[in-house]
Structure 1
Amino acid sequence: MLPWTALSLALSLRLALARSGAERGPLASAPQGDLLLLLDSSASVSHYEFSRVREFVGQLVALLPLGPGALRASLVHVGSRPHTEFPFNQHNSSQAVQDAIRAAAQRMGDTNTGLALAYAREQLFAEAMGARPGVPKVLVWVTDGASSDPVGPPMQELKDQGVTVFIVSTGRGNLLELSAAASAPAQKHLHFVDVDDLHIIARELRGSILDAMQPQQLYASEVTSNSFRLAWPPLLTSDSGYYVLELVPSAGPGATRRQQLPGNATDWTWAGLDPDSEYDVVLLPESNVHLLKPQHLRVRTLPDEAGPERIVISHARPHSLRVSWAPALGPVAALSYQVQLGPLSGGAVQRVDVPAGRNSTTLQGLAPGTAYLVTVTAAFRSGHERALSAKACTPVGERSRAPRPAPRVSVGRGG
């Protein structure tokens, strides 16, 4: 590692230029990258929903620059076992990809999304399946929110490999789990949309995908109230240079932090940060081969606020059920809670406001034998909200049950 004292003047000048934006790199041409489309093709999705999702994905790729020297796309179905509709190197034009999507048939079976994600990590992002080394990777997962197996570990492994994850949920599913599965920040990478309104987000999602496909992109993940992880593609090697990372609080006075890393480094975690604060990050590649422009990023840490820890459903009756939750933990107390309940099959949503001193409520006027999605949201003085969702089912009503057989009466004849 080179001594800091010998480089402090040059680094200070370069970093000052980076912060002012005085150094500009060449304008990028058509973005290159590999786009994996992961569709829920299982029996939990109706044929109508699948046809609407297929139409939306076709509309999305029509807006993207697909072809040689640009983006490549692959389509994988989630079912009992993952199924590749087409790999990255099969179609070389946007029209060919659209035609292949239009011809895709629903696979049915179980919703083993975790298995499909592991398959994507192990095979579809390999050169043998047409993936290209050194280009950005983006995953777009369209789901009804349900999975028969764990999603978290294989999704984290994909993100650890630098894959940007977008999730489009058609209105069902655990908000907390989907937020954790999507890339950070969740508000940019997670969309809840009714299946008939998917077209509304097509252009916004296109812009986000193109942003993620920009080469040499510095990005943040694993953002908490006091830390976040930075990662970037390999720009240098151990013998061609080194990196300098700079961290500056965006507002108010604060000490600038710097970290020098070897040329083979591709990630770094900043810890000991302030909650709910913005930081400006500069990644400065110092190469002895050619000039590389600095990269910039602004990251906001999460508030020191925690949502409900656990939801418990009890006293389930045909027309009512009780919802309880472990209250929000942390130094910042919730001002109030809101409980939302709606049928998984679609329909009106019931909302109940609960004061901060309580952690349970009874929901009335429900339909017998119906599956519901219950979401408990904690509201804080800062205006932020933290939510947790769970599934609840009401039992069938007494009138819907089969009548019990009448007891037999043995009548004897008198002697």
Structure 2
Amino acid sequence: MIVVFILGTQFYDVLIFLPVLCENVLCESGVLLLYSPSFPFVSVQSMDVQADVVLLVDGSYSIGLQNFAKVRAFLEVLVTSFDIGPNKIQISLVQYSRDPHTEFALNTHHDINAVVKAVRSFPYRGGSTNTGKAMTYVRERIFVPGRGARDNVPRVMVLITDGKSSDSFKDAAAKLRNIDVEIFAVGVKDAVRSELEAIANPPADTHVYEVEDFDAFQRISKELTQSICLLPPQDLRFSEITSRSFRATWTAPATAVLSYLVRFRKAEDITGDYVSLIVPGDTTTSILPHLFPVTTYEVNIFSQFDKGDSFPLTGEETTLEELSSPRDLVTKDVTDTSFAVSWKAAPGNVRQYRVTWKSLFSDETGEKTTQGDTTATVLDGLTPETRYQVSVFAVYGHGEASSKTIVVSDETEKTMKVTWQPAPGNVVNYRVTYKPQPGGRQLLRSIASDPDEIHMYNVADFSFLLDIVDNLNDNLCNSVKGGVYEFGSKHSIMQKCSLFECFEILLGYRHRL
């Protein structure tokens, strides 16, 4: 009789052949294997985690009895990491080869000691590797209420295999994922990477694990436990995309999260530093500010717990081309029927500028375009003695920049209120500049005689002329004293005159008002 002692992960050449199969130990052909797992202990028992976890273990002939002992040792470390209970984490173990076999269901064991005892004692069955059939079995026979599966609790399956599947498996894996089962795949030795990635949930970085041999299980035990228990957020999506920012939104995991860590950087800058934001645990959205136009960003969202951070939920998004308006619109070279317009160029790749104008006195409107590298034009064919409102829009390759229209209201003699559309992103402040334009009080002051008190009058519109008629009539007629200057020419006028007659002379009108 020969015995193999497995101390840690090292085998010793002492074999004891037994005449009968053994209970509660690994047995094959009368060979007894004793083992003592030395994998690191990874505990998340203090976390309030609920999950239904199915361990789907390849028990085919290619594994071999000695390697199967290491699989069992790895499973023991894995289950010992969990807080087992009917209202906590439930574990089921399914071994498969040609046919799947339930070693124990989700509702079979309710404490860690019972689960560990069952893991230590389940036998090695042998056979072919029908992975697809096994996953269908898990969906139809394990994740069901009669075997302990719970509603509204995360469902996880961990597949451990060492080789290529003997049957089709993609459809079976997709159906599991479609019922919200999170699938992790552990491949050993000759396992095919492409098969593992087709079975597991994305991203492969956190859901697919490869080890070179069965002795290397300890390398992934902590990472796998972290992936299962420190649940990442889900369903990353982007909205409100501008040239300088966009919004990231995600779905919270089933477990309570202290906070979220949001990290982002340019996708092409794989060695660059991340920009990090901390988001409270009850918030599942964040604006990513201060970005560059037409740039793709890598975004990672981590759930943060007392025991550490989850693996990231990852995604990419690209900012838009910068759409903005031209600035500092200036008019000059005014004639009776035209004037020139110029402006400072808008940022980005402007295809053309669209210039529009409308009369403030009639329904007259007009429009013309210039090339994107041209920032001036002449508006002609206009109506004499007419005030116009002019707007300039930047037209980009995929759309037109919205007009940042400034609205002036609540004007008084010394103040006015100015409002505008907000710029996108996290604006620190706005700089408002202003200066007098030709005309208005400045123009009146250059024309009127001194002093202003009797020679300048401000009224809102013509309907208010009657309010100043007496004062203006007295000042006008008292100052004339037999003569008045109109455009530099002296004309005689009666000492006594009416207000409207005086306006006729002063304004050069040829009809009575």
The higher relative CO (CA closer than 8 Å, separation ≥ 6) is in 1
Larger radius of gyration: 2
